[in-house]
Structure 1
Amino acid sequence: MTIAAVRLNHAVLFVADLERSLTFYEAAFGVEVVAREPRANAAFLRMPRSGNHHDLGLFGVGAQPPRQRGAIGLYHLAWQVDTIGELAQARATLVELGAYGGESSHGATKSIYGQDPDGNEFEVMWMLPRASWGEYENSAPIDRLDLDGEIARWAGTRTASELVPLDALDA
């Protein structure tokens, strides 16, 4: 029998400096600190348009050598945006913060990559409308992202409502 999970609810990261990481995630994503647990040097963050209790937990553990890329463990987190224009804004924000790491097209998803102050990689992605996945239904290529071309094609198309009710996105 399998576990009847419906989605991944939140992620928790160990970070070297909790306050530095809070500053970064507030600047990058506009998160709200919804709870702190001083005994664990932890904070729990909610995205501005989330209906979740918290989307990200951060536990400050002090300076440690960074885990080598490709080592066993978490590779990255992916945050979904509603429009391709918001993906372009994410790129600009990450560039401004010195956190931009690259970009790619995975067919059904278009992605910008960044890193937090501890080197934890994350993805900001926009998903094509489900009805437009076509040949990408069961594939995930890694191709060059033509963000300007994608904006020209998909400007104004909202897709997060396919996962979250539209009224929650407008909040």
Structure 2
Amino acid sequence: MSVPAVRLNHAVLFVADLERSLAFYSAAFDMQVVAREPRANAAFLRLPLSGNHHDLGLFGVGTQPPRPRGAIGLYHLAWQVDTLDDLDRARVTLAELGALTGESSHGATKSVYAADPDGNEFEVMWMLPREEWGAFENSAPIERLDLAGDLDRWSGVRTAHELDRGAPTGG
């Protein structure tokens, strides 16, 4: 029997300097601190459009040697945006913060990549409408992102609501 999970609810990161990380995630995502736990040097943040209690937890643990890239463990987190226009704004914001590290198209998703002050990598991604996945239904290529061209086709198209596809309804 498997666990009947519906989606990943939140992520928790260990960070060197809690206040520095709070400032970064507040500036990058406009997250708000919803709770603090001083005994654990921790804070919990919520995205502005989220209905979740918290989307990200941060635990300050002090400076430590970084985990080598490619070592066993978490590679990155992925934050979804509702429109491709939001992804374009995210790219600008992350570049202004000096955090942007790359971008790519994965067929069904368009992505920009960044790193927080501790080097924790994350992705900000937009997903094509489900009915447009086509050949990408069961593939995830890594290709050059043509954001200008994609904006010509997909500007204003909202897809975050598709996360609820197949969710049970009341009744």
Q: Which runs of 5 or more structure 2 residues have no equivalent in the other structure?
A: 166-171
Please give the TM-score of this superposition, normalised by the length of structure 2: 0.95
Structural mapping, 1:40-51, within 5 Å: 40-51=40-51
Structural mapping, 1:108-123, within 5 Å: 108-123=108-123
The 3-state SS of whatever aligns with 1:110 is strand
**Residues 34-85 of structure 1 deviation map (CA, whole Å, 9 limit, x = unaligned):** 0000000000000000000000000000000111100000000000000000
The 3-state SS of whatever aligns with 1:78 is strand
Structural mapping, 1:95-114, within 5 Å: 95-114=95-114
Aligned to 1:2: 2
Aligned to 1:90: 90
Alpha-carbon distance in structure 2 between the residues aligned to 1:153 and 1:79: 22
Aligned to 2:62: 62
Aligned to 2:19: 19
Aligned to 2:169: none
Please give the TM-score of this superposition, normalised by the length of structure 1: 0.95
**Residues 121-140 of structure 1 deviation map (CA, whole Å, 9 limit, x = unaligned):** 00000000000000000000
Identity of aligned residues (%): 77
Aligned to 2:168: none
Equivalent pairs counted in the alignment come to 165
Q: Alpha-carbon deviation of 1:156?
A: 0.7
Q: Alpha-carbon deviation of 1:99?
A: 0.1
Q: Alpha-carbon deviation of 1:162?
A: 1.1
Structural mapping, 1:92-171, within 5 Å: 92-163=92-163
CA RMSD of aligned residues (A): 0.9
Instruction: Specify the code of the residue in structure 1 equivalent to 2:93.
Output: T
Alpha-carbon distance in structure 1 between the residues aligned to 2:27 and 2:97: 8
Q: Alpha-carbon deviation of 1:164?
A: 5.2
Alpha-carbon distance in structure 1 between the residues aligned to 2:141 and 2:118: 28
The 3-state SS of whatever aligns with 1:50 is coil
Instruction: Specify the code of the residue in structure 1 equivalent to 2:109.
Output: T
The 3-state SS of whatever aligns with 2:78 is strand
Alpha-carbon distance in structure 2 between the residues aligned to 1:30 and 1:157: 22
- 1:72 matches 2:83: no
Q: Which runs of 5 or more structure 1 residues have no equivalent in the other structure?
A: 166-171
